[in-house]
Structure 1
Amino acid sequence: MSEKFYSLLTNIGKAKIANSVGLGTKINFSIMKVGDGGGSYYDPTEDQTDLKNVVWQGNINHVEIDEENPNWINIEVMIPSTVGGFTIREYGAFDEEGNMLGICKCAETYKPVIADGSTKELLLNLVLAISNTSTVSLKVDPTIIFAKKSEVEQLRADINTQLSDMVYQIAGGSATAITLAIKGTLVNGYPITFIASANNGGAATTINGKKLYKPGTTTSPNLISGKAYTVWYKSTGDCFFIKASAEGDADVSHVLATKKFSNDNDTGLTGTMPNNGAVSSTLTNNNQEYTIPAGFHNGLGKIKAIITNLAAAVVKAGTTVGGIVGTFTADATAVAADIISGKTAYVNGNKITGNATIESLGGMNVATGTAISSTDRQTYTTISGSNSGGHYITVTGLAFMPSIIICYYGDTYIGNTVVYTNQSGIIKAFPISSGDTGNWFYTTASPTSITSTGFSIPIGNISTVSNKTYTWIALG
């Protein structure tokens, strides 16, 4: 070829493209190899299948159709700054199967590394003329993304344009026909910020001739001079909506007059609910209710005071309020320990459950239980003067020494009560059963025994009292 530096499709590249057109398959450019030509320039040929001497290879970073020549493919690779120490005279594009599809002879370029005292990134571009560019595709390494300077500059310009629209500019025009300098292209969602220069009073308002609404409505917002606002453009409807900057569903009728608030639809709203101050009402009947009207913001406090006064009157005996006569007194002193366990009472309006026992209430120890009668091993003197064995009951495990013992047989208190005193002055009292004849008043010969933990007492010498269940009560 006459050109000193050039690029061309290899025979394999031509065949691949021909097959892709006929079969409808894609060509995937994948790898770019870089070589030094074996130490000198040479003229690449179409029948080559690889570079003369490869010094580096990497994934292709970018592929695009040339804007001015639609049959040209621009294939780019970026050599990182950390790679180098070699001279570049050739480079070629390979597909994912390892076939070299295009090759370039380039001007000799040295790629330095930091050890050389200089370093740089190097962008290589391989241009191939392909008749059907729609059959070409690219597989890019997702971990490597490079942008050309022109792309970076365009991106910077786009960002600066949009940022300029986000700077709060002073609104021009009038209060209801606002004019703003919009540098970007209005697309759906495009934001613009400004400072209102006049109050619009909530009247219908436009920005650059396009209507301005509250969020999701067709109502104009209330703009206040000197306040900053952000609006966004909606392409369907060709209008602007003010950005919602607060949350809430209260409207002006729910907020006291002259008070400012914001909700889902707007900011800087002014309440209209009248402020009527405190409410006063006297409740004269039991269970009477009073509804606080709108605008009485501290009426609940007044009602609480009425209830407090009523409670104070009720606890004072003899006082009548609204037909209720006071029955509780404020000087009651009973506590749970003053009330029998399991019983309840009200003291100063409070319900109390007792936990006291009979012993704790009266200062007397009480114990109850049952015992089976047994045959006495001793003899004692009966009222008729004869000595014979009798029956007795024995109880142990008491926590005190009894002073009085009452014993009876069956479910009812039966017969005469026998009462006598032992040598210690302790009184024992118990009845006779229905089977006894009443002839057993016991003297000092009785086997009665009283201790600090129990007792043993006679119950008679008739056979009918034997092996019976006796109920006993001991007091101490």
Structure 2
Amino acid sequence: MARTLVSNTMVPLTEMAVGDGGIDGGADADVMPSAAQRALVRERHRRPLNRLVRDEKNPSIVIAEIYLPEEVGGWWSRELGLYDEDGELFAVANVPPSYKPVLAEGSGRGQFFRMMLIHKAAGNIVLKIDPAVVVATREYVDEQVTAVRMAVTGDADKRYATKESVAALSLHVDEVHEIAADALPRSGGVVTGIVDISGTSNELLFTDTAQPITVGRFRVVPSNGSLIIDRNTAAKGDFSTYVRVCAIDGNGNMSTPGGVVADLFKTRANVNLPAHNDDGRGFVEFGGDTVIWRLFMNGPTGDLLLNSYNTDGTNRHQPFYIDYVSGKVVFGSRPSFNGATPWDSGNLPNPLTTDGGSLSANRGLSFGVGYGRGALQVSSNGTDSIGGAFVEWDKSRSPALQIDCPWNQAAYMGIRWTQWGTRHLAAIDCYAGGSDATVPYISMHVGGRVNAFTFGGSGTLVAQGDIHAGNGGGILAGNGNVYMSWAGQWLSTYLTGLAGGKAGAGAICQWNTEITEFGGVSTGSSSGQADLPAPYVLVGLRNGFYTHYLRAVQLRNQ
């Protein structure tokens, strides 16, 4: 107001606000306005003016009015503020405390608030009204009806209608009714048929009067073949600044700078998201309240990332990402597979790889293998294999299994067979012999017998028990005796029986073969001779057709 008095400028007044003075109590507290105020103590609601007129009887008085509908309220009213189009407080006043109920509380009422300004520069006040929010008071309607009645009668002093004036008024009312029937309803009602808004620059405005003008005003605008929805952010409500909510082109493609919130989202086409560059775009979000997950492509690298976030937007976890160049999945922490933790270079300090490796001290490998399958298999690497000449065994050949034996005084076990939890069955040791110059040997332990078999480096074999050959046909006993299955006796017994190769005195000889006949000596000749080969002895003669045949056998003692 001071600006108007000093500069003599025009001031468009556009809005009025209602406040409770910062008091939560009832009707026993008042608020005193101050010329130094730049805002209400506590503003409760603001809306465009419903009416702004000069008093007909006193032009220095300007009357500003707003109407609060039934759905607005739930607080006490104690102060009013009148604002110009720049949002600056022009005038402030107090009103008797009054509670404005709201329908949600079980009762409600519409209420007018008026502020009367006594101002010698009232001519500088621009009467600017938004027709979209005007509500006519009963007083205003009565004034307009009286004015129409006077205009029809042609005489302001005549208060009674003539027959002609009634007919003229009836005709005028019919015309107004026809126009009103074709018009859109201002509040409520039903519109049927096609509503065509034509022109080169059309806007359909929606204003939520319960919200500030920078939050609750939207427009729908056709532009370049697209349908656009904007939200006003300008204090004047003229969309000089705005936020683009969405745009739909003629092919049905919709673009929106914000997210899409839906209970169900389906598409039969591809969903192409831009790369995410920390600009609030280009990701698929899950959750949104206290749990937030986002899947997106990193703009600079092209990697596909999965991130979780805290409620303040800070990064919480990055479980994994997929490298665009290599296609590898990189985990931020060690995963768990069905409750099991895999081994990797993080929890296995010296892992065995295809290039080899070694096991740490007091560590080993355990193989669980079923019947018919090998626990350890060594295969050739192309043409390179562990095969080679016998004489190369201690030179350049590679073994399938190599055991380090650094101490000459110790035996090193290469393999052991065990019944778990019961006993050890057998084992093989290698012993250097005590020094670098001694002949090493291999020792096999079986059952409870230590060194049951020993193979020396000079080719010797030492057995703690008998050596059987030919499925038991021959036995080499520990005392050097040999059992001969062909003789049915031990060698010592056989040699004792021979007694130097001769039969003992009084030994009885027995046939060792069947009778064999030799030669033949004619009985009709004056002379003849027949000899027996050794070791046959003559046991008889057979005469056959004037010929004697020698009958002989081989003998054995006992």
Give TM-score scaled by structure 1 length: 0.31
Q: Which has the higher contact order (CA 8 A, sep 6+)?
A: 1
Question: Whose Rg is larger?
Answer: 2
TM-score normalised by L of structure 2: 0.27
